[in-house]
Copies of this chain bind each other. A is one copy, B any other.
Amino acid sequence: MKTENSRNEYSRRISREDVSPAVIKRLPRYFRYLRELLRNDILRISSGELSKLMHVTASQIRQDLNCFGGFGQQGYGYNVKYLYGKISDILGVTQNYNAIIIGAGNLGSALASSPIFEKRGVRLTALFDVNPEIVGRNISGYTVQPMDTLENYISENTVNIAVLTMPKEVVRETAERLAVLGVNGIWNFASTEIELPEQNVVVQNVHMGDSLMTLCYELAKRSEESRE
């Protein structure tokens, strides 16, 4: 590794500004595939091999990843570990963000007990709910806290991301309450789009139903084709 690290492309610092939004959009998928390769002890991969695995053209892969470097010696393909590290870094995985979940129902519980945060370098620190029947329950090692302690909790703990899995009727007021408290990342599962540009809050609205519609479309298209 020492020889490789001394190479020019290995020492270059990549800024987030260097990567186009279109590439950024595709990086989480590369992240997943590279992670899987590492888990299977595959340390080198050519763009051709990665192309077959990911069903993306090799030229697309080269276009997407070449700014990250990590080629090592000519003809030996990408250095998987290096590339994974660079992509993790660009995507903010190495920032060690802290997250809380608000809404400890089925979806909140599912997220709390999944490895979804840990895999991406995010630390889940607490769960909150308004329902007195849910408050105090243990979910995957977290004791669900009452919503009226939110202000207090955030004043004493760093919270970068709030995951909102509550009913959509209350999601906007909760997001605004969080913005006031200085939480500027919202991962919104409440099936309504919210935006808080004035409060300088970053929001990702999750619409799981969109992929169900794409599935229905593909099924309808296929049966249409088979009728032709």
Contact = CB atoms under 8 A, between A and B. Distances in A.
Interface of A: 15-16, 24-25, 27-29, 31-32, 55, 90-93, 95, 97, 105-107, 109-111, 113-114, 116-117, 119-122, 160-161, 184-187, 191, 193, 195, 200, 202-204, 206-222, 224
A210 to B, nearest CB: 4
Contacts of A214: 24-25, 28, 204
A92 B204 contact: no
Given A16-B224, A202-B218, A31 B105 contact: no
A111 to B, nearest CB: 8
Contacts of A210: 28-29, 32
The interface residues of chain A, by DSSP majority, are classed as helix
Nearest to A54: B193
Given A105-B110, A106-B109, A107-B110, A95 B216 contact: yes
A27 B24 CA distance: 22
Top 4 nearest A-B pairs (CB, nearest first) are: A92-B220, A92-B216, A106-B110, A28-B210
B110 A212 contact: no
A138 to B, nearest CB: 14
Contacts of A28: 207, 209-210, 213-214
Nearest to A107: B110
Contact of A212 (B16, B204, B224): B204
A219 B120 CA distance: 14
A43 B198 CA distance: 30
A41 B55 CA distance: 44
Contacts of A93: 213, 216
Given A28-B210, A29-B210, 14 more contacts: A28-B207, A31-B213, A91-B216, A92-B219, A93-B216, A105-B110, A106-B110, A120-B209, A122-B216, A160-B219, A161-B212, A185-B219, A202-B215, A203-B215
B206 A187 contact: no
Contact of A204 (B24, B110, B204, B215): B215
Nearest to A95: B220
A120 B187 contact: no
